[in-house]
Amino acid sequence: MPRDPAGTPFDALKAESRVGLAWLLLFSFCINLLVLTSPIYMMQTYDRVLASGHHETLLFMTLIAGVAVLVMGLLEMVRSRILGRVGGWLEQRLAPELISAGMRGALRGLAPNAQSLRDLASVRGFIGGSGVNAALDSPWTPIFITVIWLMHPLLGIIALGAALILLLAALIGEAVARRPVQAAQKLAISNVHKADSALRNAEVFHAMGMLPGFLRTWVGQNDNAIGLQRQAGDRHAALTGFSKFFRLFVQILILGAGAYLVLQQELTPGGMIAASILLGRALAPVDQAIGAWKAFIAARDAWGRLNRLLTALPSLPATLPLPAPTGALACEQLVFQQPGADRPVLAGISFALAPGEVLGVLGPSAAGKSTLCRLLLGTWQPTRGHVRLDGADVFRWPAEQLGPFVGYLPQDVELLTGSVTDNIARLDPEPDPDAVVAAAVSAGVHDLILRLPQGYETQIGEGGSVLSGGQRQRIGLARALYRQPRLLVLDEPNANLDTDGETALQRAILNAKGWGATVILVTHAPRVLAPADKLLVLQDGQVRLFGPREEVLAKLSPPTAAAPPRPRMVVQQSLQPASAGFGGPLSAAMPGSPPR
């Protein structure tokens, strides 16, 4: 969305919506001007036609009034269609920005959810409802009251008092309903997030019988939300009932006052009827606003959440497109610390890789290996230091520019709904068939795909549900290899693979190395480290060892002795000076270690 670099998408929306708002105001002006047709027709009929008995005058007045109200109806239709299109336009403009902001929030550790799209739907529904019409018509309320006042001051006082009382009632209703509505919305949003999380973990819930306990907590919170909604609904119902009663009572009151003035010969019968019609029209916006008050509060709060989301998670400013990277990767004193954490996850990580080199990353759990992967990919921002690809900071490199040159296989591979081709081609609407097949061949998954029911066009279901864990991981590897990226990051790529899968993985790494890709391979299984040129050993977020594979393995290997103890124990002792406490994960790396 085009916008001022210093502004938000809402600033651009305001600028772009000025023309549409001007048209809406023009239509509202014409509609409310034509509303005067009925009272003028009534006045002329009672005061002129009935007194003179001229049939021709009645005929022409009726024709003119009919044409006027027809035009008013057409203008109402056009205004409603404009509002509907404004709501659709708003969603078209904001939905991509909201999804992008949600992605940025998830990368920063916020809970992933689609609440922003629900908020946008709430705003769009309000724009297409009666609430906006009330706002557009409300400026005419003082004008109609002024016309009534000109007919007779007594009628004007009644109309003004009625409008003020209804307005005061609306403000009081908003004040008493605001807190329960907002609290109910927060609880409802929280409950939806919890239900989404539970549904994503249905297998775990079923296998371990977690559903009853979850439902007891969830139902309790949901009952609280329903209670707050009921409280707000009761207050709104009382306000709506009062407004209906008061509006009808005032209509009766102004007719009675008009009849009294007619008897006193201070008003004509036509003026009495016209004043009643004008009062109904003057109070209609207030009455409509009261009816749409709950929707207005929900839309206002939703709009505020959207504004805060896009303000807190702005997109990166546009940058000059950089040349395609060759794969030279460097970490410069990389530090990462989670907000509120006592100590950094990574501290002072530095290394450099030339294009075509393969780096194996070892270390125990919680050593910072996955965090390092996210920093290398630019999905997380370092607390200090830089990750540079061909000299450029990867975090500042726009994802849409850098993404085609990067391949990533996370620990938990989740494929997207669609075909195998869609997933390998990274949802490219116009995928390159040759590149898709080449990626599958490089990943060693081509034959596996051909054995699927529809081959590459097989629909894999939600999250790849029709595939096994190993199949999902191998197709995820093919996705990472699509179009031969220059930087390839593999985080535990063999977690769900059998022996054949691990063999295919090693071939894929060699293929990537062959076309000059820089490969980062994170693993607990040293048997897949054969293609690695260098090894990096992490512990407690710090580099314990880094260098050529043979040298690092030699430092990790136990010393030769006449009667060596058991391999695993010797490895742990040999690591004690430099990396106490993490011999277990590395001991499997040693020659002669028992298979894990």
**pLDDT tens-digit map of 164-206:** 998 888 888 777 777 887 788 788 888 887 887 788 777 778 7
Higher pLDDT, 202 or 590: 202
Q: How confident is the model at residue 592 (pLDDT cuts 50, 70, 90)?
A: very low
Statement: residue 251 has pLDDT above 70: yes
Comparing C-alpha atoms, which of 245, 55, 108 is closest to residue 166?
Answer: 245
Residue 245 lies in a domain: yes
Task: List the CATH number of the domain containing 187.
Answer: 1.20.1560.10
Final residue before a domain boundary, out of 312, 343, 378:
312
Statement: residue 594 has pLDDT above 50: no
**pLDDT tens-digit map of 459-473:** 998 878 889 888 999
Give pLDDT, residue 422.
95
Give pLDDT, residue 257.
93
Give pLDDT, residue 355.
96
At 362, phi and psi to the nearest 5?
-120, 160
Residue 322 lies in a domain: no
**pLDDT tens-digit map of 46-80:** 877 877 778 888 898 899 999 999 999 999 898 88
Identify whether residues 414 and 434 lie together within a single domain: yes
Pair type for strands 518-522 and 487-491: parallel
Give pLDDT, residue 569.
33
Identify whether residues 256 and 109 lie together within a single domain: yes
Final residue before a domain boundary, out of 281, 312, 343:
312
- Compute the average pLDDT of residues 404-419: 91
Task: List the CATH number of the domain containing 362.
Answer: 3.40.50.300
Residue 274 lies in a domain: yes
Identify whether residues 273 and 406 lie together within a single domain: no
Identify whether residues 515 and 575 lie together within a single domain: no
Identify whether residues 295 and 205 lie together within a single domain: yes
Residue 1 lies in a domain: no
Taking the C-alpha atoms of residue 252 and residue 258, their distance in angstroms, rounded to an integer, is 10
Identify whether residues 283 and 411 lie together within a single domain: no
Identify whether residues 510 and 574 lie together within a single domain: no
Give pLDDT, residue 580.
35
Q: How confident is the model at residue 573 (pLDDT cuts 50, 70, 90)?
A: very low
Q: How confident is the model at residue 544 (pLDDT cuts 50, 70, 90)?
A: very high
Q: How confident is the model at residue 571 (pLDDT cuts 50, 70, 90)?
A: very low
Single-letter amino acid, residue 305: R
Q: How confident is the model at residue 393 (pLDDT cuts 50, 70, 90)?
A: very high
Higher pLDDT, 489 or 247: 489
Identify whether residues 547 and 595 lie together within a single domain: no
244-281: b or e for each residue (b if 16 or more CB lie within 10 Å)?
A: eebbeebbebbeebbeebeeeeebbbbbbbbbbbbbbb
**Residues 6+ away with beta carbon under 8 Å from 352:** 328, 329, 330, 331
Statement: residue 2 has pLDDT above 70: no
Q: How confident is the model at residue 563 (pLDDT cuts 50, 70, 90)?
A: very low
Q: How confident is the model at residue 235 (pLDDT cuts 50, 70, 90)?
A: confident
Residue 514 lies in a domain: yes
Identify whether residues 396 and 293 lie together within a single domain: no
| Averaged pLDDT of the chain | 84
Residue 92 lies in a domain: yes
Identify whether residues 361 and 292 lie together within a single domain: no
Residue 324 lies in a domain: no
Give pLDDT, residue 169.
85
- Compute the average pLDDT of residues 453-464: 90
- Compute the average pLDDT of residues 533-562: 85
Among 207-211, 229-233, 290-294, 418-422, which is the least confidently predicted range? 290-294
- Compute the average pLDDT of residues 346-372: 94
Comparing C-alpha atoms, which of 329, 328, 360 is closest to residue 533?
Answer: 360
Identify whether residues 466 and 567 lie together within a single domain: no
Q: Tell me the CA distances in angstroms from 400 to 191, 354, 378, 405, 430, one per residue in order.
A: 34, 24, 12, 10, 16
Structure tokens at 322: 């950089």
- 374 close to 380: Cβ distance less than 8 angstroms: yes
What percent of the chain is modeled with pLDDT above 90? 38
Final residue before a domain boundary, out of 286, 312, 338:
312
Provide the residue range defining the domain that includes 307: 9-312
126-139: b or e for each residue (b if 16 or more CB lie within 10 Å)?
A: bbbbbbbbbbbbbe
pTM of the model: 0.69
Q: How many CB atoms lie within 10 A of CB 14?
A: 12
Identify whether residues 469 and 486 lie together within a single domain: yes
Give pLDDT, residue 331.
96
Residue 65 lies in a domain: yes
Three-state secondary-structure class, residue 175: helix
Domain count, the chain: 3
Structure tokens at 333: 């004193």
Q: Tell me the CA distances in angstroms from 330 to 311, 327, 375, 385, one per residue in order.
A: 32, 10, 12, 11
Among 37-51, 190-204, 483-497, 525-539, which is the least confidently predicted range? 190-204
What percent of the chain is modeled with pLDDT above 70? 90
